[in-house]
Amino acid sequence: MLPWRARKGERTPPYAVWLSEIMLQQTTVKTVGPYYAKFLAKWPTVEALAQSPLDDVLRAWAGLGYYARARNLHACAIAVVERHGGVFPDDMEALRALPGIGDYTAAAVGSIAFDLPAVPVDGNVERVVTRLFAVEEALPAAKPEIKRLATSLMPESRTGDFAQALMDLGATICTPKKPACALCPWNDKCVARARGDQETYPRKAPKREGRLRRGAAFVVLRADNRVLLRQRPEKGLLGAMTEVPGSDWSHDFDVGSALDAAPKFAKAKWRKLPGEVTHVFTHFPLALTVFVAQVPKTAKAPNGARWAEVAHLRDEALPNVMRKVLAAALD
Ligand code: SF4
């Protein structure tokens, strides 16, 4: 569990709940732990985070994935300062109106930090509720029904404790495989348990895999141990993150004409690395062919690009796919 869990009788600060919940979206507690500690140490308040340049936030986020969350985190910190004087609002509508805060995060912050009557429904809660009531509809279509059923279980007071207890029940007792039903406080009411088919819930619609996209990545190494980097556009996948120059990524990418998209350097000799660097995004898998070229110390960076010291690459806001590309090229 993350350190935002308050001690008995204490209320968890909304900033801590919000930060951890944004980080935990699509990411495990184990991965989030060190990032959460780093963010709280660097930016102990929402004001400090709001005052920091976006680039610093993206750098600190690098490696955690789903970078839109980092941009929204920063935008939300600014909005809390500008709209609410640096204090998270104790009102569900105002919470939902903040950048990057959807139903789930609003319910988590609202219930855990302010005891508002809301139930945050994450994957753990979905599992408990669908088993308890034997919900036959498949996810994600079943989400509104699960929310309604979860809300029907909510007590009138201590909604924050209830929300955390429900999430903990799903994480530790009502586990995906072999749930410990004998320890569950609802075992006499659970429909799936009575039928003995708990593990078949929640029902899930079959997954549709995205089509493979291909592209090229160009690693230009300067003789003084620098590598050419540029920033991705603000909007879209990996927005505002750092990358090596590359081609577009498409289903019908033609590796034969990949060098048309390479940065132009006089006399640069491109070497194609064997194999491809692969990465799986939420909606599609990607395979990149990596080309490497060495250029002299005097080479100038093309417009929109810059040279970065190889020794300091770990401090750059490079997404995992680009770290894989650089690892392959610098090996
Ligand atoms: S009885 Fe078992 S399946 Fe039902 S909610 Fe409890 S742990 Fe989950």
Ligand 1 pocket member 169 (CB < 6 A): no
pLDDT band for position 296 (cuts 50, 70, 90):
very high
Residues 100, 49 share a domain: yes
CA of 192 relative to ligand 1 center, distance in Å: 7
pLDDT band for position 1 (cuts 50, 70, 90):
very low
Domain limit, last residue, from 200, 233, 264: 200
Domain containing 233: what range? 213-330
Write the pLDDT tens digit of every residue in 3-30: 445 455 566 789 999 999 999 988 888 8
Residues 303, 168 share a domain: no
Ligand 1 pocket member 170 (CB < 6 A): no
Residues 282, 165 share a domain: no
What is d(CA 328, CA 187) in angstroms, rounded to the nearest whole number?
52
Q: Is the pTM of this model over 0.95?
A: no
Ligand 1 pocket member 187 (CB < 6 A): yes
Q: Choose one of 153, 166, 167, 173 to mutate for the ligand 1 pocket test, by most ligand atoms within 8 angstroms of C-beta.
A: 173
Ligand 1 pocket member 125 (CB < 6 A): no
Q: Is 121 exposed, middle or buried (0-12, 13-18, 19+ CB in 10 A)?
A: buried
Residue 207 domain flag: no
Residues 191, 69 share a domain: yes
Residue 2 has pLDDT above 90, yes or no: no
Residues 153, 92 share a domain: yes
Ligand 1 pocket member 131 (CB < 6 A): yes
User: Under the phi-then-psi rule, with left for phi > 0, alpha for psi from -120 to 50, and beta for the rest, what region is 268?
Assistant: beta
Long-range CB contacts for residues 151-154, cutoff 8 Å, separation at least 24: 151/119, 153/119, 153/129, 154/117, 154/119
Residue 1 domain flag: no
Ligand 1 pocket member 179 (CB < 6 A): yes
Mean pLDDT of the 52-64 span? 92
Ligand 1 pocket member 193 (CB < 6 A): yes
Residues 271, 231 share a domain: yes
What pLDDT is attached to residue 88? Answer: 96
Domain limit, last residue, from 170, 200, 230: 200
What is d(CA 37, CA 108) in angstroms, rounded to the nearest whole number?
19
Residue 3 domain flag: no
Residues 24, 170 share a domain: yes
Q: 280 has which bridge partners?
A: 285
pLDDT band for position 77 (cuts 50, 70, 90):
very high
Q: Which of 210, 215, 320, 221 is nearest to 276 (CA)?
A: 215
Helix (H, G, I), strand (E, B) or coil at 51: helix
Q: Choose one of 146, 166, 198 to mutate for the ligand 1 pocket test, by most ligand atoms within 8 angstroms of C-beta.
A: 198
CA of 177 relative to ligand 1 center, distance in Å: 11
Residues 221, 196 share a domain: no
Write the pLDDT tens digit of every residue in 155-211: 999 999 999 999 999 999 999 999 999 999 999 999 999 999 999 999 988 777 789
Ligand 1: residue whose CA is nearest its atom 4: 190
Residues 275, 219 share a domain: yes
Domain limit, last residue, from 142, 174, 200: 200
Residue 5 domain flag: no
Residues 267, 296 share a domain: yes
Residues 258, 146 share a domain: no
Q: Which residues are catalytic?
A: 21
What CATH number is associated with residue 39? 1.10.340.30
Mean pLDDT of the 251-278 span? 93
For residue 128, the ligand 1 atom closest to its alpha carbon is 5
CB 284 within 8 A of CB 213: yes
Residue 30 domain flag: yes
Number of domains in the chain: 2
Ligand 1: residue whose CA is nearest its atom 1: 187
Inter-CA distances, 249 with 212, 219, 241, Å: 9, 16, 16
What CATH number is associated with residue 243? 3.90.79.10
Residue 31 domain flag: yes
Residue 263 domain flag: yes
Mean pLDDT of the 114-126 span? 94
Write the pLDDT tens digit of every residue in 186-196: 999 999 999 99
Residue 7 domain flag: no
Q: What angle, rounded to 10 degrees, do the helices at 123-132 and 159-172 form?
A: 80
Residue 286's φ and ψ, nearest 5 degrees, are: -130, 140
Q: Choose one of 126, 127, 128 to mutate for the ligand 1 pocket test, by most ligand atoms within 8 angstroms of C-beta.
A: 128
Residues 193, 52 share a domain: yes
What pLDDT is attached to residue 3? Answer: 46
Ligand 1 pocket member 186 (CB < 6 A): yes
Ligand 1: residue whose CA is nearest its atom 2: 181
